[in-house]
Every structure is written in structure tokens, then in C-alpha cells.
Structure 1
Amino acid sequence: MARGTLDREQVAARLLDASAKHSFDPVHEVDWDQPQPADLFYAVPEHLSLYGTPLWERMTPEQRIELSRQEICNIMSMGIWFETILMRMLLKMAYERHRPESRHVQYAYTEVGDECRHSLMFIRMIETVGARPYRRPGYLNTLGRYVPVLLQGAPMWVGTLMGEEIVDVMQREMIKDERVQPLVRQVSKIHVIEETRHVSYAREALARRLPRAGRLEREHARLVAAESAVVVGEFMANPAVYKRVGIADPEAARRMAKGNPHHLEVKRRAAAKVVPFFEELGLMGGPTLKRWQRSGFVG
């Protein structure tokens, strides 16, 4: 067995063992009936896109909490969209490898099971806090249909990491913050524990793949990294959120959020793990740097 394959199988075996010991059924392990205190936020206040802006200063405490409720539900809606695409990519990979005896493939199936439960957990949380899911823009809906075909090899793992690592960093901060609703913290904790394995799987796969990738695949991965950053960045300042909160000019609020130094700092902190990893692999810089700057995740 080649060393790269052995490494891949060893990583997958370790992750399968961890999954057997630390997996959750959110239907039964989340207290969906717990109280939601009226004075607690649904996200870390400093994470909110309008935090520190003149608009934020004019908001009542109740409006700020409502903004947090809508923003966390927007992120959960993005998570459902992303995880559905990821499941399709993993299943396509498993199908095409046609090696169910491989631990690598078996872990792909395990991760699909995790992501199914996460998507159900997210939609139930949205419903439990009394909100509605956010619909993705039409162009993203169309693009999402083709992503499993367009992203294979290194680009697949790059897109996966952009979707996973940004939210992971923010949820780790949520878990520790007692200003955040216990329900949100409980959901975030389950997600973080299981996503740690998913991030490890994707990072190891990308690090193995890139040395064998040709120039075209590497450039494609570099492009996907930047464009994924733009998509995630746009989701984080969604005018539909501001409309539901009752802000008179949602587009003006979006522009304010995108230029908000507090919001940009949150973005850069959220990207503080994935960006250096991409830099180490040679996936940053060049013509795509402007797209990264537009996303707000780098200066």
C-alpha cells in the first residue's frame, strides 16, 4: 500500500473511532423545550453585523436581540444549504471510488450521517426560536445544483473548509458566552464537536491531494477558495435579515454592515485558522486576492 493511501486510511480509521465515541442525536439530546429568556441574545452581540454602527446605537435592547435571532437563523439557513451540497459531494466521491471497504469511504458515509442530523438540528432550531429559514438567492440555488460536478479533487476540499471553518470559530465563541441563549449554545456545542472531525478529514485530504494536483487543478482550487469566501461573506450581511428586523432601508443597512470595522474584525478572526492553512498550501495571493479582500476575510 502506498504511503499516501496508508495515511488516508489511518486518518479515516481514527475519525471513525472518534465518531463512534462522540456522536449525537439532536432530536433527543437537545432540550428543545427549555426557556428562552427575553434578555439573552441568540448570538454573541459583537458578532452581529451592525454591532457598533450608528444604527446599532439607535436600536432598543429588544431590537438588538431580534437582530441576533434573525442573524443566527440566517447562518443556520446558510449551513443547511452548504451541508446539503457537501453531502452530495461526499456521496458522489464515495460512489465513484466504488471501494466501500476503504475506511476513507466509510468515513465519508459517516460524515454524511452527521450532516443529515446537523441540517435537521438547524431547521428545528430555526422553528423553535420562532423564525423562518432564509431562502438563498436564485443564482446560488442554480449554482448549487452543479457544484458536485464542478468541484472535484482539491477544489472540493477547499470549498468544504471555507464552509466549515468560518462558522466553527464563531460557534466556539458562542459556546462560552453566557449572554447567548442556552439553546443556541447547546446546538453550537454539538455542531463544533462533530465538525472538528469534518475539518480534520478535509484538511488532511486537501494536503494529500495538492502535491499530486496539476497546475489547472491548483488554480481552480485557488479560485474556489476566493469565490467561496465571497459567498460566505455576502451571507453574513443579508438585507433580508434587516428587513425582518424592521429596518426601513435594508440595502443601506447592508452597506453599513459591509463597511463596519467591528464586522470586518469578526470576519478576520473567523478566518484566522483557514487563511494561514491556505497560505501554507499556496492557495492565496495572485489575481484572487482582490476577491478575498471583497469578502472581508482578509485586509
Structure 2
Amino acid sequence: MTSHHACGMLVFLSVFLISYTLQCNGGSILVVPLDGSHWLNMKILLEELHARGHNLTVIRTSRSWYISEKSDLYTSITIEMALDYEQLLDVFLQEEVCYNFLSCTGLISMLSRGHSLWYDAIKHIFDDQNMLKRLRDSQHDLALADPTLAPGLILTKYLKLPLVLNVRWITNGEGHFVLAPSPFSYIPVLRSGLTDKMNFFYDDMCDKYIEGGCDVISLLQEADIWLFRSDFVFEFPRPTMPNVVYIGGFQCKPAQGFVSHPGNMSHLIVRQMC
């Protein structure tokens, strides 16, 4: 065998082994994120997963702000979202929430409506047999979900996938209240406009689509790994669980240099004053 043939065979075997290694090590991950600042942090995880050869499928809404339909990092599944989702976000961006007691009730109403919109959006997946078949046939290895909204939890449970959670917030507050025993309470504040009747948007979905039923709290507690974006440098010690990995500050990068040209200073000051 000539040296040219030997080199050619070596190159062929090298390419084959590299391709085989990627197929063995690369997993298939279903991602159910939340838009806005939550996505900015989730995307950092996706960039690292993509760099390690994993195949990512992201479920996004048709009204998504930051989650692009086309990306080099992932393939996307787009679900329809009602038009007034943008109006809800506008209320938040206009900083009309929690300046006073009445505006706090407006925030609560906005969050309630947001959960309702996501419930309707994810219900389209459960009612679409072709979509469910596509998700099942994809044979994902695990799901990476944002626990702030419950649809990702319910969909993961339906598909029987291992679950990894990202961020600390859940449907009703802070994740530590799910991880360790906490007293249950619901006391309507005087003149808050709230009653002792609580709405559970996702109970109907759990009863309809999950065999044996479920509830959001149990789905959170069943997570295999919870990437908790928090750090005890800023927190007080509290009970936790072994499946929790604290990743506070993982998204931090060195600060960029400050503006050097004096002409830019007036523009910066005006922007800060607006």
C-alpha cells in the first residue's frame, strides 16, 4: 500500500470516528423556555449544549420577542399565542406595577392572564395528534424547562422525559418553598379584591392528559435536576435538596470598556434620564 493510500485511509477513519463519537455523545433535548430575561440566561445553557454536540428542539410562541424561529443553535416548534400577550408585556415594561397597592393588584391580574394564555397555547399541542406524534417520534433524551410556567412541566410528564429545571421562580413564587417543607397559607388581604377561591389553571390539563392525574407542585418536586440561579453569598442558609445545583452568576462576563469619546457622553446621559 502506497503512502498516499495509507494517508487517505487514515483521513477516512478519522472522519468516521469523529462522526461516530458525536452520534454517541450528542443527546436530543427538548427545551421549553420562557421569553424575556429568562431566555437570555437559558440561551447561555443552549450555546454550551450545542457546542458539546447536543441536538436542541425549542418550543416557542408565535409572539415571542427574543426566541427566534430560526437559529444555528436549535430547531424550533412554534405554537400560536393570543394577540393580547404582547399587551400584557407592555404593562410590565411601562413599569405600571407595584408602585402602589392598587397597581400590585394589576400585576396579579396580569400574571393570572398570562398563565391563562399559556394554558391555551400549550393545549393546542395536546389537541394536535400530529404534533404529539412528532414529539414522541423525536425520542428526546430529556427536557430542559423553565418552571415559572407549568406547561413545560406537564408536557414533560406526558412525554415521560427526565426533567431539568432552570431558574428559581415557579408558578406561585420562589422555588425553595417547593424543595423543602413550608407551611401552606392563603389569606386574602382586606380590600385586595381577592377572595378565598383560588384558580388552578393547570389542574384540568393534568387530569385530562396525564394518566393518574398530577399537580404542579408534585411535577416540580419530581425534577431530576434543578439548576437554581441563586447563590448563598446573597441568601440566608435554608433547607434544600441534593438534586439542586446552585449556578448563581454563571451568566456573568467581564464588563465592557466605558465610552471613551466625549461626544457619546451626552447621548448616554440623556438615555439614562429618559
Output the TM-score relative to the length of structure 2: 0.30
As a proportion of its length, which structure holds more strand?
2
As a proportion of its length, which structure holds more helix?
1
Greater relative contact order (Cα < 8 A, sep 6+): 1
Output the TM-score relative to the length of structure 1: 0.28
